[in-house]
């Protein structure tokens, strides 16, 4: 498939990935990538971008956001906080397995 170079090889093959963490917390994402926090988790490399604060200097960060959304949308089950980002992923996924954590602070 036509995947951006930064996405190729960033995750193990789909059949072996059980849990993927997508977060806008850079430090947590780094810990997961380094296997220092729950080694069974995978994550996608990149820097989280908040669309409402993004200044269009490069398309790459927006492609990273789309990669995160696509990974979430292809998930068998979503466990997420209440956010517009999570809601978009859920709507794209069509999965009946959707768990929104009610007590999460945004």
The residue ranges of every structural domain in the chain are 14-100
More confident residue, 23 or 100: 100
Model pTM? 0.61
77 contacts 98 by C-beta, under 8 angstroms? yes
With both helix axes pointing from N to C terminus, report the angle between 60-73 and 84-93 in degrees, rounded to the nearest 10. 50
Separation between Cα atoms, residue 95 and residue 59, nearest integer Å: 29
Query: Looking at residue 62, what is its pLDDT?
Result: 74
Query: Looking at residue 5, what is its pLDDT?
Result: 56
Judged against a pLDDT cut of 70, whether residue 14 lies above it is answered with no
* Average predicted confidence (pLDDT) for the chain: 75
Judged against a pLDDT cut of 50, whether residue 78 lies above it is answered with yes
Query: Looking at residue 104, what is its pLDDT?
Result: 63
99 contacts 77 by C-beta, under 8 angstroms? yes
Q: Which residue has the tokens 């859920």?
A: 90
Judged against a pLDDT cut of 60, whether residue 70 lies above it is answered with yes
Query: Looking at residue 20, what is its pLDDT?
Result: 80
| Cβ-proximal residues to 63 (8 Å cutoff; 6+ apart), any chain | 4
Max Cα separation, the chain? 39
Of the candidates 3, 6, 1, the residue with the CA atom closest to the CA atom of residue 58: 6
18 contacts 40 by C-beta, under 8 angstroms? yes
């Amino acid at each position: 498939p036509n995947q951006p170079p930064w996405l190729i090889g960033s995750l193990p093959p789909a059949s072996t990935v059980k849990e993927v963490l997508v977060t806008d917390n850079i430090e947590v994402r780094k810990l997961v990538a380094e296997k220092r926090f729950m080694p069974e988790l995978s994550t996608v490399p990149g820097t989280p971008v908040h669309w409402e604060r993004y200044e269009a200097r490069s398309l790459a960060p927006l492609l990273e956001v789309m990669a995160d959304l696509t990974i979430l949308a292809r998930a068998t089950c979503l466990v997420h906080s209440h956010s517009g980002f999570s809601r978009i992923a859920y709507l794209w996924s069509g999965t009946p397995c959707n768990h929104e954590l009610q007590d999460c602070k945004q």
